[in-house]
Chain A
Amino acid sequence: MVTAGDPRLVQIVALSLRVSLSAAFIASAIGLPLGALIAVTPFRGRRAVIVILNALMGLPPVVVGLLVYLLLSRAGPLGAFGILFTPAAMVVAQVILIAPIVTALARQIVADGWEEYREQLQSLGATRARLVATLLWDLRHSLFTVLLAGFGRAAAEVGAVMIVGGNIDGVTRVMTTAIALETSKGDLPLALALGLILIVIVLALNAGAYAVKETAQRRYG
Chain B
Amino acid sequence: MVILRWMGLAGALMLPLGAVHADNVFITVASTTSTEQSGLFAHLLPSFEKVSGVQVRVVALGTGQALDLARRGDADVVFVHAKSAEEKFLAEGHGVKRYPVMYNDFVLVGPKVDPAHIAGGKDIVAAFQKIRATQAPFVSRGDRSGTHIAELDLWQSAGIDIGAEKGVWYRDTGQGMGPALNTASSMNAYILTDRGTWLAFRNRGDLAILVQGDRRLFNQYGVMLVNPATHPAVKKEMGQRFIDWLVSSEGQKAIASYRVNGEQAFFPDAEQPGV
Contact = CB atoms under 8 A, between A and B. Distances in A.
- Asked whether any CB of A lies within 8 Å of a CB of B in the complex, the reply is yes
Interface of A: 18-19, 21-22, 25-26, 28-29, 32-33, 73-76, 79, 82-88, 91, 133, 136-137, 140, 166-169, 171, 181, 183-188
Interface stretch (B14-22, B85-93, B160-168, B251-259): B14-22
B275 interface: no
Nearest to B41: A169
Contact of B74 (A84, A88, A136, A185): A84
Contact of B73 (A79, A140, A186): A79
Given A25-B7, A85-B28, A186 B1 contact: no
10 contacts: A18-B16, A33-B3, A74-B73, A79-B73, A83-B21, A84-B74, A169-B41, A169-B58, A184-B176, A188-B203
Interface stretch (B95-103, B110-118, B178-186, B266-274): B178-186
Query: Which 7 A-B residue pairings sit nearest by Cβ, starting from the closest?
Result: A184-B178, A186-B203, A25-B10, A74-B73, A166-B59, A75-B72, A186-B201
B17 A22 contact: yes
B42 interface: yes
Contacts of A83: 21
A6 B20 CA distance: 21
What DSSP secondary structure best describes chain A's contact surface?
helix
A186 B72 CA distance: 31
B3 A181 contact: no
Contact of B17 (A76, A91, A186): A91
A86 B23 CA distance: 11
Contacts, number: 108
B51 interface: no
A169 to B, nearest CB: 7
Given A25-B6, A186-B185, A18 B17 contact: yes
B231 interface: yes
A136 to B, nearest CB: 6
Interface of B: 1-3, 6-7, 9-10, 13-14, 16-18, 20-21, 28, 33, 37, 41-42, 55, 57-60, 72-74, 176-179, 181-182, 185, 200-204, 231, 233
Given A22-B14, A25-B7, A185 B21 contact: no
Given A25-B13, A74-B233, A86-B20, A168 B202 contact: no
Contacts of A28: 6
Contacts of A29: 3, 6-7, 10
Contact of A73 (B21, B72, B176, B182): B72
A186 B178 contact: yes
A137 B181 contact: no
Most buried by A among B7, B178, B200: B178
A83 B74 CA distance: 10
Given A25-B13, A184-B182, A188-B202, 16 more contacts: A21-B13, A25-B6, A26-B10, A29-B3, A82-B21, A83-B21, A86-B20, A88-B20, A184-B37, A184-B177, A184-B178, A185-B200, A185-B201, A186-B178, A186-B185, A187-B202
Contact of A184 (B55, B73, B179): B179
A25 B9 contact: yes
Contacts of B37: 181, 184-185
Contact of B2 (A82, A84, A137, A187): A137
A88 B182 contact: no
B57 A136 contact: no
B42 A169 contact: yes
Nearest to A143: B2
Most buried by A among B3, B73, B181: B3
A185 B17 contact: no
B203 A187 contact: yes
Most buried by A among B42, B58, B200: B58
Given A26-B10, A185-B37, A74 B231 contact: yes
A100 to B, nearest CB: 18
Contacts of B10: 22, 25-26, 29
A33 to B, nearest CB: 6
